[in-house]
Amino acid sequence: MESKITKGNSATDIEVALDQYTKSGFKPTLAIITLSSIEHMESLQVLFDERDIAIFGITAPQKFTGQGIESDDIVAMLLDMKRDYFSIVLNDYAESSAYEAGYKAGITGENLFANPGFIISPIDFRMSGDELIRGLLDAAGQDAPIMGGVAGNPKDFSGILFTNALSSKGGLLALIIDRDKVLMDGLAVSGWKPVGTIKKITKCEGPWVFTIDNQPAMNVIQRFLGDEMISPEKQGNGLLPSDLGYPLQFQRASGNAIMKPVLFWNTADRSIMIGGGVAKEGELFRFSLPPDFDAIDTVVESTKIMKEKSRPDADAMLVFSCVGRLGTFGPMISTEIEGLAETWNKPMLGFFSLGEFGKLDKGQCEFHGTTVSWVVLKEK
């Protein structure tokens, strides 16, 4: 399978690149498209539909390739994957829940392929990433590989998902792959180091946590972050900065931790909102130290280990990196991007996401924050 990256600031720019590729004998069947603005969507739908190229399209203002962070409005990965090896579904939340949208995508995958894998991108800040992935796993099997990231603009969580004929401002877009034909490997990696004693959630409802160790949740967080971080004067709308850099590390039996950020606070009842959708009473977590170069090294090393152990070659790489990492690392994020690209030295496309899906280890896929979820594809 061959893959190529194309980019530009209009559908005309992309059309020129497609013409050049066609002349050289490359005939893509699938386009994974990232847009800065939805204004290009309809023209791209017409362009790719005329050429019989399936679209997996999202809006993401901040995107990157192996060459670094890209400023073009449109950046796309083109693949000549055989049509029988994949399918794309878009399930809207309008008349269903996140769980139901995930379950429908999982059932579709199970009906299409004996061994499906899922690359997903939901949109809509209100959706529960935990419920979405629970629906997928219930339908497709608890061991189903699910990688991806939440699309949208971090400033207001707006955006759109689209295929050749459909679009949604609140739904789930899934690229379903036949893993008997296309190998799909990846991990979710963070690199943040834990600090402090273990804390317990003692009262919560949905994503809102009211008490930690039987104390008002906001008080506990405020003691760690400092009063200035969540003072009403500085963050009057209750939204914490995306580059705060102090995600909570929820403990798992494997020893690895699920990273989830604190998104909102409420001074009225001293509660906090955890990213991901559903908090559970009794869950244990620790705070995180500010990240350093070790966090970047951990992410890059995860690709090198997989290359050495099980995946010496790849045809393409997709990366879903939390937007919080961009804010935290600043220019240093280029080191991480370059390291990921150099492992297989094949076309790579990524964007800075509002939540990530993937496996920490050999366990189930889960929903994460402040994490890099990467996946490589290799046709058998």
348 pLDDT more than 60: yes
What phi and psi, each to the nearest 5 degrees, are found at residue 351?
-145, 160
What predicted TM-score, i.e. pTM, was given to this entire model? 0.90
Burial level of 117, CB count in 10 A (0-12/13-18/19+)?
Answer: buried
**pLDDT tens for residues 58-113?**
999 999 999 999 999 999 999 999 999 999 999 988 778 889 999 999 999 999 99
Position 96 scores a pLDDT of 82
Residue-level pLDDT at 155:
81
- Note the pLDDT of residue 235: 47
pLDDT digit string (tens) for 181-239?
999 999 999 888 888 899 999 999 988 999 999 999 989 988 887 765 555 554 444 55
Residues 191, 303 contacting (CB under 8 angstroms): no
With a cut of 90, say whether residue 141 has pLDDT above it. Answer: yes
Mean model confidence pLDDT for the chain = 90
Residues 6+ apart with CB under 8 A from 42: none
Strand 30-35 to strand 54-59: parallel, antiparallel, or no bridges (unpaired)? parallel
Torsion, Cα of 367, 127, 291, 297 (10° steps): 40
What share of the chain has pLDDT > 70, as a percent? Answer: 94
Residue 343 pLDDT grade (very low, low, confident, very high; cuts 50, 70, 90): very high
Q: CB-side exposure of 244: number of CA atoms within 13 Å? A: 25
Pick the closest to residue 152 from 317, 37, 310 (CA basis): 37
